[in-house]
Structure 1
Amino acid sequence: MHALQEIIPEIKSQNATLIALTPELPDNSLSTSEKNQLEFDVLSDVHNTIGKEFGVVYSLTEEVAASYNAGFDLNKFNGDTSNELPLAATYVIDTNGVIQYAFLDADYTVRAEPQAILAALKNLK
């Protein structure tokens, strides 16, 4: 999130808008945004509705779900007991609603490079 925050001026210079989606309940997503002093919207995708439409939601194993619930109460944060999470996906979508750039990795620690996102935005012109 911090890396994306750093490129907000360049994103805006391309007349683009950055949004992030999270399965967290609205109050929790607002806390994430405020805590990280983000200048872009962090929207709640309660029950992973949009994530499921994009095919990026997976179910945690029982052991991992138990660990997440013991560690930070995943079910309370997300407002359900599905034990589902979305992969960290990044999309650049043009004004016609067509995905022009997509990044997805099963390893949640690997994210799209900010410069790749900016390059995709510049290619829209």
Structure 2
Amino acid sequence: MRFLRIERLVLPFYREVMSTSEAASTSLTAATLALRSQLHEAYGADALAPFDTNAAAMAADGVGATAPSVGTPAPRFVLPDVHGTSRALDDLLVSGPVVLVFYRGAWCPYCNLQLRAFQGSLGEIEATGATLVAVSPQTPDNSLSFAEKEGLGLTVLSDLHNRVARDYGLVFRQDDAPTAVQKGLGIDLAEVNGDDSYELPAAATFVIDAGGVIRFRSVSADYRWRVGPEEVLAALHGLR
């Protein structure tokens, strides 16, 4: 009943967002609606306006539209994990499919929502033989702090300067207005990511089969709406 009340309050806004982006209802929609309501109650619509405006502009610009398509080879990469150990996509694929999730950072409430959902379904994902990998531009130290705080059992990698995200066609520069608000809240992307480019990856999820071919692709031009474990599990079961 709680989600139904929240949906009545914010569904008109949700429909407006849906009409200006490629977002579609997913297994995380209800939880996202609840999160948006909580954020508006905590910070107020005016404080969140720069982020909403930026997200809508990203959707209109089609951020991430050039990401690799289903049926094409996944760009290969080697990235450090939270302990500084290099992890190569090719090595991960030896064990089976890889679920590759690009997230903006530990400071992003929508990223936290999605990663917690994936963590909750980690056993089911691993039961298919797949490895769940989350990638952000945060430094390894900041990624380690996040992984420990959230108790994440998935593989967390640091993509410094968004080099791999760029290969996947996901990189954009965050507008100055939300950046200024973040700094006022004590979030400095230059410190978190180790550079002052203020570039971030579009939220994206890929399922890559053991042969290195992309079999599922979801890119959220509007980072507020994204897929969850149910969509990924369906894709993984479809590989069998």
TM-score normalised by L of structure 2: 0.51
1:5 counterpart (97, 119, 129): 119
Residue identity opposite 1:36 in structure 2: E
Q: Partners in 2 of 1:11 and 1:83 — Cα distance?
A: 32
Alignment correspondent of 1:104: 219
1:1-125 maps to which residues of 2 (within 5 A)? Answer: 1-71=115-185, 72-125=187-240
RMSD of aligned Cα (Å): 1.1
RCO higher in structure (CA 8 A, sep ≥6): 2
Higher helix share: 2
Q: Partners in 2 of 1:95 and 1:69 — Cα distance?
A: 41
Aligned residues: 125
Residue identity opposite 1:109 in structure 2: R
Gaps of 5+ in 1: none
Gaps of 5+ in 2: 1-114
Q: Partners in 1 of 2:233 and 2:131 — Cα distance?
A: 12
Q: CA deviation at 1:68?
A: 2.5
SS at match of 1:116: helix
Moved over 6 A (4+): none
Q: CA deviation at 1:124?
A: 0.9
Residue identity opposite 1:11 in structure 2: I
Do the aligned partners of 1:69 and 1:75 also contact (CA within 8 Å) in 2? no
Q: CA deviation at 1:42?
A: 1.1
SS at match of 1:18: strand
Deviations 1:28-87 (A, max 9, x none): 001111110011111100000110000111011122222233431111000000011111
SS at match of 1:76: helix
Q: Partners in 2 of 1:89 and 1:76 — Cα distance?
A: 23
